[in-house]
Structure 1
Amino acid sequence: MTERVVVDLDSDMDGWQPELPALPRPTAVNNLSDALRSKGLSPGAVRTLARAAVRPDEMRRKLADPLELRVQGGTLLIVETRLWTMAVWPHPANPREYGHRLYPLSDHPSARTPLVFEPTSQQDGGPELQIRAAGPEALEERITEAKERLIRENPLFSDIAAEGVLQPLTVVPANIVHNDGSPPLTLLIAADGSSRISSAHRVVAGGKLEKHPSSYALAYDDRKFRKWISPHLRQAQRLSWNELDSGDRDILRALALPARVIVGFRPDKRSGIPFHTAVRNLIGLTHIRPPKPYGASVENEAKADAVLDALSAPLLTRPALINRIQHQWYGGTITKDKAHAARLPDHQDLRAAEIVRSILGGGRTTTLRVNSGIRALTAKLNPRREERVDIAVELILRPLRTDEAANIKIVKSWRATLQRAYLIPEISEIPGDKLLETTSEGGITLEALRDLAIEEVEQGHGHSGHLAQAQIELAIKAAFYMATSEPMALQREIYGGGDDDDDRSLTAVLRAMLSRTRGVHQAYNVIKWGRAGKPLLQTDETGNVILENGEEQFLTDKFIRETYSGQHVAIAATGIVAARQQWDRLVTSVKETQKATRKLGEIPASDGGPAHVSRDGWDSKEILVVRKLLDKVDRTLGDWGDTFDLANHLDSREDQ
């Protein structure tokens, strides 16, 4: 089955579009059953596995030559295939819940009789587990409880709704024996990946835990089992992918999953371990003794390459956002000579600003592209903005980190400083096509960029916490040199210091600096000196170098924080500055209103259930009051916009 990622940048329909199979024919299921019997599986395991296979013929062919999976004490024989999601269940005795278990040796009344006992091996030595349960209700209670806890503690349903289950689950047949004499049944359980299957069940059930079917109902009734699959497949045949609503697309992505089905076991001659121990050893390798994590910086490196691939690839009707040379330049994989031949600038701050523009600017269009690259490695539905910033910084530091490869401590300081500095929210408002002072044709000079930023300061931008385009571009470029200079002129904020310590975030410090004409001059000089490879020096109100006892003074973090304390801008009472300050407060309030609305819409009616307002709505009288207020604001803003357009039209006629 081919899988491809489809992202529609004009809508919210980003995510995987699977190619969906038809329900298997009975003949194919019967042929697979015969092949499973020949492997010595019990009748219950044969029946359960045969109907679980998405493509029975494919699984039957692979049974002839299963793969070997080595674990401590033996070798598991596995077949890689796809299974219907509703045929697989979380491990009833999931080891992830060890910390929450109640043990009979205690005096706790609920622990005297376990609902479900630890798995053992089948007496005939086949590749199946045996699990004892007090009765069907007890097992069902245990599975439901496990699902709820796993979804609460390790929620993956948003990611699975967007990309399906990416990594295969290791699935093993488990024969359930009831102490109350109820008929036995066989379930397929996830030896690893109980969190994934629990979240996948929630997606298939339309996002509602209470709609999850009973494992017993599906195990005993083939018709009910097929009803969880066939309606979705039929609907997908009737409608095109874009005609399906988002909930239907989520279900189709999660309807089937990749699996490694254990179909045999060969213990080592000297170990003699039973099958259930081999399965437990596999879980240990996966969760208790997993490979050592790469570390944050290495992970960001890998994600950075995936993001560059996403930016350089055409998407549907959209062209690539960066070309092949830019891909190499951003990634640091091109030599300086080749970069110069391609007319790319030598200055590191220009490269840093272009990377920031391409990964953090451009609004939603860029964000969707970058997220698709991150999702290719992590399956995260909505990567955080901080993650995108970390990726941009890792790309920026590649050439510098190579030069300072032996000094890890310095590189860590640069990384931490730039990661915090580039969290300035205004960066997302930078146009995605090009900067003002840019590497492409049509850009302005650094001096012109400084003059534009001074005009923005005079218009009140930044005075109440919002920088305009020239100001933020200067901040990005100056921050690069201030973070990598010696001494560092921009450092991490201090937490828990004395009363005299400045614990403002770097974004607040930069914003305060670029909100003053003096700060614009300082940033301009920082960039000019940084490009020339000269030390960064302190400047005065007009941009001249400060001398103390006839000596130039290095620019330091202490000087920056003391000079641009954030208290220098008086609240204006009249004119454009006062209006700009109040406008920025208005914009912030509207954004907070939007955020508060979204958060209200996310509050669940119950733990793990649907949103309260989507299920029960809200008092229409209360809503009407708020809508009238918003309508008044909307009309007022419209009038102001009309006045501006009219005034500018009259001015343009007078100029003619």
Structure 2
Amino acid sequence: MAGELTRHPGPDAAADARPADDVPLDMDAGWQPANWPLPRVNAVDNLSDALSSRGFTEGTVRVLSHGAVRPDELRRKLSDPAELRVQGGTLLIAETRLWSAAVVPHPANPREYGRRSYALGGAAAGLRVLPEPTTSAESPAELEILVDSPGTLATRLEDAQGRLAKDNPLGEDVAVEGVLQPLTVVPMTVRHRNGHRPAALLIAADGSSRISAVHELLDYAPSKVAYEWSSDSRLFRREVNRWIRLVQKQGWESLSEAEQQKVRVLTVPARVVIGFRPNERTLLPFHTAVRNFIGLTHIRPPKPYGSAVENEAKADAVLDALAQPTRTRPARISELEKQWFAGVITAEDAEAEGFSPHRDVRAAAICRSVLGGSTKRRVNDGIRSLTAKQKPTREDRVDLAVELIIRPYRTEQNDLLQRVRPRRAVLQRALRLPEIERHLRTELRLEGATADGPSLEDLRDAALEEVEYGLGDNGELGPAQTELATKAAYYMAVADPMALQREVFGGTAYEDDRSPATVLRAMLSRSRGVHQAYEVVRAGRRGETLYEVDEKGERVLTSGGEPRELTDTLVRHTYNGEPSRTDGQSTGFAAASRRWAEVRAKVEEFTKAVDAMADVPVTEGGKSLVERDGWDAAQIAELRRKLDRSDRRLAAWADTHDLAKEAAREQADDEETR
């Protein structure tokens, strides 16, 4: 029964289930970079001499020598460059680290094709597309570009940085892990029609989005990088050294989160192009070879793996993170559990090791390990190991959990997309049920996980008690309801016909547009729905067809006397989300729970209304009216007084509840000591 499941059906079940070692889950450490020192002047001078001897222009020698984090290393690599073949020739490259203050985005970035402003169309001078770079007349492995004035280039660099940060936002990713993949950096000389002295740049031919994100984090203006730091080594070294000295003075742990993010991107890995060997047959110029390289990378890149493959890879990385102990905490799953979750052991071997043969039990165990709140940090670490995504969302975690769950099913179906794809989509939406993260925790005994654990009947009875207590109607399922919903969702999704499908987008008013997670909550909020979920799991484990059941758990028969097969339409019609009207209760906790659900819904509605008001612009496409002009103070004061009164009432209820719990604990302690 419920006691055997060690579950608490009251509203504080989630709080009671919180593990003792629970810590804030959004305080992920991120990458701690090496403490790079400011290079010695003689090392910079030695690199300058080596670059000059290879025929680089004076400007390139200056920016590349002071831009190198380790000048001695780059100098050694000049004599033994790596080769990167491109269409039309071979680029000679040296892999090294550069200070981020030495690199700018490609000023004629091809990512802006399709939105460029052309002079023939009447574009303003400062916004017109820049000419394509050409090969430098002074050095065969440098580019050259001609612009009207420094202001022209500065405007284009600022505009490019803003667009790149908007179109390909990488700021959150590099803030946590820095730049992982090297930028392909090419020297470029900027010449000006107005007679201003040339400017030497190191441009990111491949990686403009990354360096733009870095500059945004560091608050670097590209024009300052291009026209101040590139021409004055003392200013450049002063800018770099202020961050180095900050770390040396305060220590990494004493830096604020914002300061740590900036230090992480103080340097970037780079493949610096230091030479070019053209194809003897085509004699393609250097600037064309660079353009071909960019096109191969972005215009005709390798075909993306696709979301399913990406989630598969991330899922394996997450399992590694869960199975790996840290300095302060043990592994979250064993090596055997890792193999079971990954699906790399046979069903017979899994059962021999003590794992359940039932797919729904494995699905619930995966949800508990991947989606449970107490493992969130480990899971996010695993995701970031492949993506460097700063803040993986709950949707990210659900999607990779689903890929693990459906691995056996996919194998059985030979990866037939017409069967696998809709079931993957349904499970992704169904397992976004927020209660899964709150209730499926390791300290609660999972039904079916061990031979001596709670039975399926125990789980059903505990869920029925939670229904009687009003859980579900109050807007949130209890622990037993949640576990049963998770297990039933698996069989309802893989059934044929599917008994749970995706919501209808853009349908008529008569079509049900609720998400599968919402439908599950409505279903498990009713005694009949609990009996239905129990029957789904029972039949699913036996490989039987799913049939509809009534309030007593008995099969519903058609007019012809045949059991009625369970379908998505039938489930949505039966569990339409309306409050129960059959029990007539107007008193007690169940009735109060329904009222609490209304309170939560109205508050959510109020929040959305405030957001909608904030979105009203002054003019089409303009700024928010209320953010610019505000709103009548007397009207707002009146509304705030009403909200304050409700807020004080809610706080009083919470205090009363806490006092009652404390009194109950003291009474229990007294009885135990008698």
TM-score by length of 2: 0.87
Q: Identify which of 402, 417, 422 aligns with 2:426.
A: 417
Structure 1 stretch displaced more, 95-104 or 264-273: 95-104
Structure 1 stretch displaced more, 257-266 or 18-27: 18-27
Deviation at 1:240, TM superposition (A): 3.3
Alignment match, 2:654: 637
Percent identity between the two aligned chains: 49
Alignment match, 2:59: 44
Tell me, what secondary structure is at the counterpart of 1:17?
coil
1: CA distance between counterparts of 2:319 and 2:389? 17
Alignment match, 2:218: 204
Alignment match, 1:217: 228
Deviation at 1:635, TM superposition (A): 4.5
Q: Identify which of 544, 562, 565 aligns with 1:551.
A: 562
Deviation at 1:411, TM superposition (A): 1.2
1:181 maps onto 2:198 in alignment? no
Q: Is the 8 A contact 2:523 2:575 kept in 1?
A: yes
Q: Is the 8 A contact 2:157 2:222 kept in 1?
A: no
TM-score by length of 1: 0.89
Deviation at 1:643, TM superposition (A): 2.4
1:484 maps onto 2:499 in alignment? no
1:439 maps onto 2:456 in alignment? no
Deviation at 1:157, TM superposition (A): 1.1
2: CA distance between counterparts of 1:463 and 1:227? 63
The runs of 5 or more residues in structure 2 that have no matched partner are 1-22, 616-620, 628-632
Q: Deviations over 1:318-377 (max 9, x none)?
A: 22111111111100011223212210111000001111111112x2x4222212211121
Alignment match, 2:113: 98
Deviation at 1:261, TM superposition (A): 0.4
2: CA distance between counterparts of 1:127 and 1:645? 76
1:254 maps onto 2:265 in alignment? yes
Q: Alpha carbons of 1:287 and 1:563: their partners in 2 closer, same or farther (altered >3 Å)? A: same
1: CA distance between counterparts of 2:575 and 2:611? 35
What is the aligned residue count?
Answer: 632
Tell me, what secondary structure is at the counterpart of 1:261?
strand
1:121 maps onto 2:135 in alignment? yes
Q: Identify which of 663, 667, 674 aligns with 1:646.
A: 663
Q: Identify which of 290, 293, 302 aligns with 1:279.
A: 290
Q: Identify which of 57, 67, 83 aligns with 2:98.
A: 83
Tell me, what secondary structure is at the counterpart of 1:534?
coil
Q: Deviations over 1:122-166 (max 9, x none)?
A: 114521000112112221122112111211222211111111111
Q: Alpha carbons of 1:593 and 1:40: their partners in 2 closer, same or farther (altered >3 Å)? A: farther
The residue identity in structure 1 corresponding to 2:359 is Q
Matches within 5 A, 1:467-506: 467-506=477-516
Q: Alpha carbons of 1:557 and 1:89: their partners in 2 closer, same or farther (altered >3 Å)? A: same
Structure 1 stretch displaced more, 216-225 or 72-81: 216-225
Matches within 5 A, 1:54-453: 54-106=69-121, 108=122, 110-111=124-125, 114=128, 116-205=130-219, 213-361=224-372, 363=373, 365-405=374-414, 407-433=416-442, 434-440=444-450, 443-453=453-463
2: CA distance between counterparts of 1:468 and 1:170? 54
1: CA distance between counterparts of 2:226 and 2:38? 20
Deviation at 1:263, TM superposition (A): 0.3
Matches within 5 A, 1:521-536: 521-536=531-546
Q: Deviations over 1:235-289 (max 9, x none)?
A: 2123332221101100111100111100000110111111111111111011101
Deviation at 1:169, TM superposition (A): 0.7
2: CA distance between counterparts of 1:561 and 1:632? 37
Structure 1 stretch displaced more, 238-247 or 534-543: 238-247
The residue identity in structure 2 corresponding to 1:551 is E
The residue identity in structure 2 corresponding to 1:402 is T
Structure 1 stretch displaced more, 591-600 or 258-267: 591-600
Matches within 5 A, 1:606-621: none
Structure 1 stretch displaced more, 42-51 or 438-447: 438-447
Alignment match, 2:618: none
Deviation at 1:641, TM superposition (A): 1.4
The residue identity in structure 2 corresponding to 1:324 is E
Q: Deviations over 1:543-564 (max 9, x none)?
A: 1122333322222222212211
Alignment match, 2:590: 577
1: CA distance between counterparts of 2:336 and 2:406? 18
2: CA distance between counterparts of 1:240 and 1:112? 44
Tell me, what secondary structure is at the counterpart of 1:69?
strand
Q: Deviations over 1:90-115 (max 9, x none)?
A: 11111112222222223x15159957
Q: Is the 8 A contact 2:158 2:221 kept in 1?
A: no
Q: Is the 8 A contact 2:144 2:189 kept in 1?
A: yes
Q: Deviations over 1:551-597 (max 9, x none)?
A: 22222222212211222524953211122223445566788999999
Q: Is the 8 A contact 1:478 1:527 kept in 2?
A: yes
Q: Alpha carbons of 1:556 and 1:339: their partners in 2 closer, same or farther (altered >3 Å)? A: same
The residue identity in structure 1 corresponding to 2:529 is G
Tell me, what secondary structure is at the counterpart of 1:16?
coil
Q: Alpha carbons of 1:103 and 1:472: their partners in 2 closer, same or farther (altered >3 Å)? A: same
Tell me, what secondary structure is at the counterpart of 1:567?
coil
Tell me, what secondary structure is at the counterpart of 1:82?
strand
Alignment match, 1:29: 44
Deviation at 1:314, TM superposition (A): 1.9
Tell me, what secondary structure is at the counterpart of 2:406?
helix
1: CA distance between counterparts of 2:341 and 2:156? 51
2: CA distance between counterparts of 1:499 and 1:92? 51
2: CA distance between counterparts of 1:447 and 1:319? 33
2: CA distance between counterparts of 1:13 and 1:112? 43
Tell me, what secondary structure is at the counterpart of 1:229?
helix
Q: Deviations over 1:384-425 (max 9, x none)?
A: 322211111111111111111063311112111111111111
Q: Tell me the C-alpha RMSD between the 2 structures.
A: 3.2
Alignment match, 1:456: 466
Deviation at 1:644, TM superposition (A): 3.5
1: CA distance between counterparts of 2:297 and 2:424? 31
2: CA distance between counterparts of 1:435 and 1:226? 60
Q: Alpha carbons of 1:628 and 1:217: their partners in 2 closer, same or farther (altered >3 Å)? A: farther
Q: Is the 8 A contact 2:86 2:292 kept in 1?
A: yes
